[in-house]
């Protein structure tokens, strides 16, 4: 359950167009990314490298953005070998939207 301070923290994370884009892209990964060549599917989300390439930003910037999204519980990372995959945390996003609607 969200408390007011958590809503403020999530709002701060979402106050960046690229971070919003990442969440948008992850909502429909098949449309926005090729499947990772070693997996061939999106069961674990999208490889951070593909997110970085699509954004056109540096690896360090995207890593920081993904960390912020992770700390806000908006994405779930899964580490497989040397790759980290990210998918949306739909439960947190739904709870956030419900609490915003009540304000």
Alpha helices by DSSP H, listed for 28-71, are 29-32, 48-55, 59-71
14-66 tens-digit pLDDT: 999 999 999 999 999 999 998 888 888 888 999 999 999 999 999 999 999 99
Helix (H, G, I), strand (E, B) or coil at 92: helix
User: Tokens standing for 14?
Assistant: 């979402």
SS3 at position 72: coil
Q: Range with the lowest mean pLDDT among 37-41, 61-65, 81-85, 89-93?
A: 37-41
Q: What is the pLDDT of residue 2?
A: 61
CATH architecture observed for domain 2-101: Orthogonal Bundle (1.10)
Domain ranges of the chain: 2-101
SS3 (DSSP) at 28 = coil
Q: What is the pLDDT of residue 17?
A: 97
pTM (two decimals): 0.91
Q: Which of 72, 74, 18, 15 is nearest to 45 (CA)?
A: 74
Residue reference for tokens 């995959």: 85
The encoded tokens of residue 55 equal: 């954004």
């Amino acid at each position: 359950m969200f408390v007011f301070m958590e809503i403020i923290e999530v709002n701060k994370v979402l106050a960046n167009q690229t971070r919003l884009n990442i969440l948008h892209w992850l909502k429909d990964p098949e449309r926005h990314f090729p499947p990772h060549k070693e997996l061939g599917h999106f069961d674990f989300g999208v490889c951070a490298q593909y997110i970085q390439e699509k954004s056109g930003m540096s690896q360090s910037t995207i890593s920081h953005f993904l960390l912020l999204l992770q700390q806000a519980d908006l994405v779930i990372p899964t580490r497989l070998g040397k790759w980290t995959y990210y998918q949306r945390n739909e439960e947190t996003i739904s709870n956030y939207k419900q609490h915003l609607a009540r304000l």
